[in-house]
Amino acid sequence: MRASHIVILTGAGVSAESGLGTFRDTDGLWTKYDIADVATPEGYAKNPKLVLDFYNARRANCRAAPPNAAHEAIARLQREYPGRVTLVTQNIDDLHERGGSRQVIHMHGQILQALCAECGHQWGWTGMMELDDICHSCATLGAVRPDVVWFGEMPYHMEAIWARIAECDLFAAIGTSGAVYPAAGFVSDAQHRGARTLEINLEPSDNAACFDECRLGPASETVPMWVEGLLGDG
Ligand code: APR
């Protein structure tokens, strides 16, 4: 029976074929950097320049990366599916938007946004971020940081995400290792509500056993096929 509300959770694997690195694959970002140094408030307090430079490199990579067929297929599903589709991403890149998605819930923030650590103001940021940048709202010097959720910080939009999961009847995780909570727990939340669950990944994730169905392969192939099947033309 056709699902009335699909919730999709994506991770770094959906952007891998666009040339953006993942975190935990063999050559992933966390094999080159220590999370504590570049993805925690403590690391930012200790060495803000190291953190700003880390995200400056990721921002430049993101702007140079094209969306791939997986991003485009998800956007097509959002446009054409007769039921509701909610897209939640752990990714901080804008490839879902550049792939055509209009509604994207970025639970870990966005690399193309800045956040003021002093007043909480958020605004668009596409260039390099330096230590002497000032907040565009409170004009505080040295409080500008990437609008990215670090380890130990609360992800964004959690109430909205849990509400969507509570009412969905199909939950699909795409390109995520299932290594980081609360995102890794969404599949169990969905299952407890009676939703069918599907994992689409290059290899089985850490929580593969939680899913009813698993489709393995590169997202640029598996996701368009999945979408074609849902839209009835596959
Ligand atoms: N197609 C589909 N899946 C892929 C592809 C691909 N081409 N390439 C890699 N993958 C899969 C890997 O098999 C892995 O399961 O994508 C997943 C990437 O896992 P991670 O690198 O752990 O990325 P992610 O799950 O998004 O990490 C979650 O951890 O560090 C934090 O905030 C960061 O949002 C991130 C969170």
Q: How far is the CA of 24 from the centre of ligand 1 (A)?
A: 7
For residue 200, what are the contacts with CB-CB under 8 A and spacing of at least 6? 172, 173, 174, 175, 214, 215, 219, 222, 223, 226
Q: Is the pLDDT of residue 234 over 70?
A: no
Q: pTM for this structure?
A: 0.97
Query: What atom of ligand 1 comes closest to residue 22's alpha carbon?
Result: 21
Residue range 131-185, pLDDT digits in tens: 999 999 999 999 999 999 999 999 999 999 999 999 999 999 999 999 999 999 9
Contact 202 CB / ligand 1 (< 6 Å): yes
Please tell me the predicted confidence (pLDDT) of residue 124.
Answer: 97
Could you report how far apart the first and last alpha carbons of the chain are, in Å?
A: 16
Q: How far is the CA of 8 from the centre of ligand 1 (A)?
A: 14
Q: Which residues are catalytic?
A: 108
Please tell me the predicted confidence (pLDDT) of residue 206.
Answer: 93
Element containing residue 164 per DSSP (H, E) = helix 158-167
Closest residue to atom 7 of ligand 1, CA basis = 218
Residue range 112-136, pLDDT digits in tens: 999 999 999 999 999 999 999 999 9
C-alpha 232: how far from its chain's center? 27
Residue 50: both structure tokens together: 């190291």
Please tell me the predicted confidence (pLDDT) of residue 1.
Answer: 80
Residue from 14, 27, 177, 206 to probe ligand 1 pocket by mutation (most atoms less than 8 Å from CB): 177
Residue 176 contacts residue 201 (beta carbons within 8 Å): yes
| 146 CB-contact burial (10 Å; exposed 0-12 / middle 13-18 / buried 19+) | buried
Contact 86 CB / ligand 1 (< 6 Å): no
For residue 233, what pLDDT band results from cuts at 50, 70 and 90? low
Closest residue to atom 26 of ligand 1, CA basis = 11
Contact 15 CB / ligand 1 (< 6 Å): no
Q: How far is the CA of 65 from the centre of ligand 1 (A)?
A: 16
Please tell me the predicted confidence (pLDDT) of residue 189.
Answer: 97
